[in-house]
Chains A and B, each alone.
Chain A
């Protein structure tokens, strides 16, 4: 009975994920090795194309910068939220959750209004006399990064608020009772204890921004393509399915490598588990 139940109950989900996700993705990856020019020919082609490698490096660069900025903003904000009294804390969390639950398209679109040629930022700077003609801020790495940071900071805040609230109050008090000034407590106790959580947050943001599609599509355009937009363009505009599959394979490998390496490091750094 138990044996039947425990396998039987997981079976539908197992079959669904295997047949509809694992197999299709594996097939996609497998097709990249079936080219007549050689097993790795599509990869050699990818890495020999300056255009495409540029996009890969840009994507990695944008993802890294986004992650770093989100980490700093998210951690400091989460630290403040964790100290707030109950009611204020709920309000702060609602304020952080709301953008998170608003769609990527909507949130990226907001930055089109802000950063556009006739956007709010340009018109304010013009009316303040700081600039004499509108700046082109859209379709730059900067605009993509700003929108991505905007996209991922709430996620980081939520993750890290949970982590910081998990640090026992008495450990922080013990530090103070032993004579540590608040700044020393922060760097010697709170920060080290938050490291595993910081890694989790960083992985979420890195993989999210590395594989994003809508934001670079809206704010990067043709000029600032990223891996996601490149994949879409190869698949749906030029119908180069092998090329698209190659990009897909590279994205999968990098994502899974980052996730597995970082989660291993996080586990090793977690002092609660031995």
Chain B
């Protein structure tokens, strides 16, 4: 659809974008302020709050945990999600409909309920240590991305190509890796990125699954905020935003960002 835009509507959209971006600019400004309290515009410029992050071991440790959990959780979710997505698209008729719904349950069930239930039944009930519980929680949380996003690119994959490869003598498993996977690369990358970002930013599940010495970065930020309200928090936030910028740059280079509206 294309139509002319009323100037008032255009002005409104500009205000919306200001509303969306200004708070992030404010965080960046506040992280550079040479004051012991959070303020904007920054008074004096310093990078000492960034240096301060690295001096607080809790930030260092939780950042490492967050990355580990995000990578392992996302990896696990792709490991079980890609075969499921493949089966759902390849054998569409033969599989019951509820199976598709089952795989998006982690989005449907409130995250905070899932986190609590996991703590209650698996961590406490079965005595599973916190760290594996955390990874399991994150893997399930991001499973819908693996199944749906990979599924979306499988949906436009022509499976007769796979049959052609098999008829030419390529074994099924090899066919999957040499013929199918390269063609759904974009979907796998997209799923990985969405899952990774979701995991690294998660609060509602992680908040239940932290234990002695184990916590994630967002939870550590929340804890830090309860005691201190200094620019360190702003500088950690900026670092997290830089991770996002990096990831978006990867998306732009590999897929083009417009794929996100599809």
Give the size of the chain B interface in residues (CB under 8 angstroms). Answer: 89
Report whether B3 and A5 are in contact in the complex, using a CB–CB cutoff of 8 Å.
no
A21 touches B24 (CB 8 A): no
CB distance from A54 to the nearest CB of B (A): 19
Classify the secondary structure of B's interface with A.
helix
Q: How many Å lie between the Cα of A107 and that of B24 in the bound state?
A: 7
- Across the interface, do B248 and A2 meet the contact criterion of CB distance under 8 Å? no
Q: How far is the CA of A129 from the CA of B80 in the complex (A)?
A: 60
A45 within 8 A of partner (CB): no
Inside 8 A of A251's CB, which chain B residues have their CB?
110, 112-113
Q: Mark A155-181, 1 if CB is under 8 A from B, else 0.
A: 001100110110111011000000000
Given known pairs A21-B105, A93-B257, the reply for A114 and B207 (CB within 8 Å) is no
Interface string of A222-253 (1 = CB under 8 A from B): 00000010011001100001001100100110
Closest to B92 in A: A6
Q: Are B114 and A25 in touch, CB under 8 angstroms?
A: yes
Chain B residues whose CB sits within 8 angstroms of the CB of A13 once the complex forms? 80-81, 83-84, 103, 143, 147
> What separation, in Å, do the CA atoms of A168 and B138 have in the docked complex?
39
Task: For residue B133, give the distance in angstroms from its CB to the closest CB of chain A.
Answer: 10
Inside 8 A of B3's CB, which chain A residues have their CB? Answer: 83, 172, 182, 185
Of B4, B109, B140, most buried by chain A (CB within 10 Å of CB) is B109
Cβ–Cβ contact B27 & A150, under 8 A:
no
Instruction: Known contacts A158-B260, A255-B110; decide if A105 and B218 are in contact (CB<8 Å).
Output: yes
Report if A106-B204 is in contact (Cβ < 8 Å); known contacts: A27-B117, A98-B248.
no
**B10 adjacent to chain A (CB < 8 Å):** yes
CA distance A23 to B44 in the complex (A): 55
Q: Which residue of B lies closest to A256 (CB)?
A: B108
Note all chain B residues with C-beta closer than 8 A to A79: 9
A12 touches B80 (CB 8 A): yes
Q: Is the CB of B12 within 8 A of A76?
A: yes
Question: Across the interface, do B240 and A102 meet the contact criterion of CB distance under 8 Å?
Answer: yes
Q: Check: A18 CB closer than 8 A to any chain B CB.
A: yes
Q: Is the CB of A107 within 8 A of B112?
A: no
- B102 at the A/B interface (Cβ < 8 Å)? yes
Known A-B contacts A95-B21, A252-B109; A102 and B99 likewise in contact (beta carbons under 8 Å): no
Overall SS of chain A's interface: helix
CB–CB A94/B257 < 8 A: yes
Write out the residue numbers on chain B whose beta carbons fall within 8 Å of the beta carbon of A104.
Answer: 201, 203, 218
A102 touches B241 (CB 8 A): yes
| Residue A154 at the chain B interface, CB threshold 8 Å | yes
B27 & A110 in contact (Cβ 8 Å cutoff):
yes
B113 with A28: CB separation less than 8 A: yes
Interface flags, A10-39, vs B, CB<8A=1, else 0: 101110111011111101100000000000
Establish whether residues A150 and B2, one from each chain, have CB atoms under 8 Å apart when the complex forms.
no
Q: B12 contacts which chain A residues (CB < 8 A)? A: 76-77, 80
A207 and B5 CA atoms in complex are apart in Å by 32
Q: In the complex the two chains form, is A83's CB within 8 Å of B24's CB?
A: no
Asked whether B178 is an interface residue with its Cβ less than 8 Å from the other chain, the reply is no
Contact (Cβ within 8 A) A252 B257: no
B244 within 8 A of A: yes
Is A28 in contact with B99, judged by CB distance below 8 angstroms?
no
Residues of B within 8 A of A143 (CB): none
Q: How long is the Cα–Cα vector from A97 to B91 in the complex, in angstroms?
A: 34
A235 and B248: CB pair below 8 A?
no
Closest 6 CB pairs of A and B: A103-B201, A110-B23, A211-B110, A9-B87, A6-B91, A24-B117
**Beyond the given A24-B114, A27-B120, could you list 16 further A-B residue pairs with CB under 8 A, ordered by the A residue number?**
A5-B87, A10-B99, A12-B80, A23-B121, A25-B113, A77-B12, A83-B1, A93-B260, A94-B248, A96-B20, A99-B20, A101-B244, A105-B203, A109-B234, A161-B261, A251-B112
